[in-house]
Structure formats: C-alpha cells, structure tokens
Amino acid sequence: MRFGPSVAIFLLAVVGCTNHPDAPARPQPVAPGDPAVTSESSERGTVEIIELARGLDHPWGMSFLPDRRILVTERAGRLLLLSAEGGLIAQISGLPSIFVSGQAGLLDVALAPDFERSGWVYLSFAKSNLRGNLAGTAVFRGRLVGNALQDGEVIYEQQPKLSSGTHVGSRLVFDDAGHLFVTQGENNKRATAQELDKLQGKLVRLNADGSVPSDNPFVGREGVRPEIWSYGHRNMQGAAMNPWTHVLWTSEHGPKGGDEINIPEAGKNYGWPIITWGINYDGKPIPEAVSNAAEGMQQPHHYWPVSPAVSGMAFYAAERIPAWQHSLFLGALAGSSLIRLQLDGDRITGEERLLSKRNERIRDVRVGPDGLVYVLTDAADGKLLRIDLKAQ
C-alpha cells in the first residue's frame, strides 16, 4: 500500500475484528513521495486533481477531524487515520465484528456534533446474524482516544437480517437537533421496502444514543417500526444535509435506470418497488411495479433515465471556490465521474460531469475544511483525491 506525501509513516494500531478471510492483517506503509497532479477543463475553469493517497482497499467513507486529519473507512473492515496531506498515521483499533461480502462491509463514518467534547465516532457497517450467513445495516459508536475507539457499542441494527452482501446502503448524517439519519437498502428483497414491520428499504432517524425520537412519524403505531422516517427506498448510498435549508437530501440507486435524489419527508412512501423510473437488469419490467407514478407515493426530486450509480454526496457552500457555490456533488460508480449539479434553491438547473477521463469509480465526496473537494475512488487500489478549481 502506498501513501504520500507525509513524514515518516508507520503503523500504530491493529485492525478491528472482521470476518473477511482475505483481508491482510494491516496495510503496508511505504516511503512518502510527491503527489501526482493532473488537470482537466470544465465549464467553470480548470479542475486541478491532486492524488493524496493510493493503495486504499475499496475506501467507502471519510470524515474530517477538527485538526483536519481524515478518518477513512475501507469496506474490508479497516478504519484508517490519515494526515491532511494523505499520509497514513494509524489504523484505528476497537471496531466491531464486520460482515464482509460483496457490497457489505465497513461503510460510512461520521463525527458526533459534539465530537470535540464527547469524542464519539459513528460507523455504519454490515452486522451478521448469529449463524453468520446473513447481515443487515448496523451503527456502532466509540470514543476516539488516541488511535483506538473506546467504550464501543452497537446502537442500531437493521431487522430482520436478510442481506447476503447486497443493498446495505449506508450513510450517516446528523441534523441540527442532533438526530442521526441512517440510510439503508432493502437487501435486494424488493417487497420489504413497503413492509413497515421491517427496516429494509427505510430511512431511519435516531437519537445520538440509538434511542427513538418521540416525534418520529410512526411512534406508537402497532406493527410499525418506530425508527422509520420514510420508506419505499431501494438502496440509499448518499446523504447530506442541505446547508441552506437544513433539510436532508439522499441519493438512491435505481435498478437499470431510475437513480434518484430525494428530499425525504416524515412518514412518506417513496414507492420502491411499486413505482420506479427503471427496469430490471435483464431488460424486463420490475415484477411489482405498476408504473412510474401512483397515488400516495412520492416522485423523486430528480432522477436519471440512465443510471450513473450515484453514491456519496456533498453540498458546496464554501467560499474557497465561488464558481462552485450552490452546487451538489455526487460520486458516480458506473458513470465513473464526479457529478456536479447546479442548484437554484432546491431546483436543479444544470449537470456537469467531472473526472470522467480518469475512468475511476467514485464512492464518496466531501467538502474539506479548506473548502476543497475530496473524493474516494472505489477500487482495490483506491485513491483519495483533492480537487480544486482554477477559474478562467
């Protein structure tokens, strides 16, 4: 594994438990080197791409610490601490046992709103059943002390556990009141997205300790899971809080076509699999689908007829790059690009695709404390890229 640039790189912690038999015991550090810098033309100027780190094993999510160091998850079950310039500082210990298969593994990472006081770090991951053959999305939190997570606890588990390694989501986002939103998938069990006694295909809203907020829309309804905020979702792999409206937006994988952006409202049904703008991968209609619209089911805020396979997302509200203000960035996996949507309020007025010539799957995108855009590429030799715009 190669990282750079940095000062001398060395490993300070051991990996948390994982049941992935092929995972190496730890990443192998090498001597630092100069970052690779490339550029490309865009609608707003010249995009400069700096390669901060490579050799990441299918990195999935990242979060910036207050001192600008970066926590990065690898799907195989490792949580890495990188310097602001991409150098490996440590591998964080104290993680839970993680089910690693296909799309399942260690997923997103988020800091508690009061992290500087509490030290809580939140992780979403796939947690297995007792037999170890099926899993569901779960949330773990631990206090970051040095290079370890201490006082660790699983605060949420998707029930029942139905995933064999598909459609697990997941992103973690806190709102202004300290509630935690957890995006999930329907484990490729389509009908469950409409079944309110199950947590598949649901956006859930929790208190920071995993308890259920008393004002969740289904609290007190018999036979309905009180954690549910909205339902009828397929596989939500992107989520971000709109910095101007303070409302959550999510991105969701459709089947073949029909990737979506939603602004999920409490108690609303977003239709999957009854309504969809996509079709099955074999070219046939989704068996349960009646149309692309139905009474009582919400239309997506935006959709793509051809799926780019959208993943992580981030709003741009920083002052560093005026030409990108009021933009929404999304990673594209099948589309192998960074999608920039121009916004006018909540209205999407334009789309631009960046980094397409690199032909790399983009798993996550965040805006750093420096106002630059950071992305993770999804590969066995995954990269952390830092992106700037030089205006024309």
Kindly write down the DSSP assignment for every residue of 194-257, as one continuous string.
G-TTS-TTEEEEE-TTSPPPTTSTTTT-TTS-TTEEEE--SBEEEEEE-TTT--EEEEE--SBS
Q: Is 191 helix (H, G, I), strand (E, B) or coil?
A: helix
CA angle 206, 154, 11 (to 5 degrees): 120
Using the CB atoms, write b or e for 150-170: b if 16+ within 10 Å: eebeebbbbeebbbbbbbbbb
**Positions marked active-site:** 167
- Residues 326, 371: Cα–Cα separation, whole Å: 13
| Residue among 211, 78, 105 nearest 153 (CA) | 211
| Residue among 254, 305, 256, 308 nearest 282 (CA) | 256
H helix or E strand, kind and range, residue 90? strand 88-92
- Residues 272, 253: Cα–Cα separation, whole Å: 11
CB atoms within 10 A of CB 10: 9
